[in-house]
Amino acid sequence: MNDTPHRKPLGKRLLLATAVLLGMLVAAELVVRILLNPPVSIRFSQDTDELKQLQLKRFSAVLASDPDRFWRLVPHSRLPDSGPGPRGPFFGVISNGSGFREDHQLATQKPDAETRILFLGDSCTFGYGVGFDETFVAGCEDRLNEQYQDRHFECINAGVPGYSLYQGWRVLDVEGPRVEPDIVVVCFGFNDRAEWDGRSDLEHAAMAPPGWLATSQLATRLWQLSHQPADRPTLKPRPRVSPEEFRGLLTRIRQRTVRLGARLVLISWCERFQVTGDRDERTPWQFELYRFARRQQVPLLDLVPQLQDWTDQGDRPELFLDIVHVTSPTHSRIAGQLVETFRPLLEPGNSSP
The answer to whether position 20 is within a domain reads: no
The answer to whether position 109 is within a domain reads: yes
Q: Would you tell me the crossing angle of helices 303-313 and 328-342 to the nearest 10 degrees?
A: 130
Q: Are strands 92-93 and 78-79 parallel, antiparallel or unpaired?
A: antiparallel
User: Bigger pLDDT: 39 or 201?
Assistant: 201
The answer to whether position 6 is within a domain reads: no
Q: What is the mean pLDDT of the chain?
A: 88
- Return left, alpha or beta for 264; rule: phi > 0 is left, psi -120 to 50 is alpha, else beta: beta
The answer to whether position 19 is within a domain reads: no
Average pLDDT over residues 301-316: 90
Half-sphere exposure of 60 (CA within 13 A, CB side): 14
pTM, entire model:
0.86
The answer to whether position 24 is within a domain reads: no
Provide the 8-state DSSP code for 188. -
Q: Would you tell me the crossing angle of helices 217-226 and 10-35 to the nearest 10 degrees?
A: 90
CB atoms within 10 A of CB 140: 26
The answer to whether position 311 is within a domain reads: yes
pLDDT of residue 81: 87
The answer to whether position 26 is within a domain reads: no
CATH number for position 184: 3.40.50.1110
Q: How many domains does the chain have?
A: 1
pLDDT per position as a tens digit, 312-327:
987 667 899 999 999 9
Range of the domain at 204: 38-346
The answer to whether position 164 is within a domain reads: yes
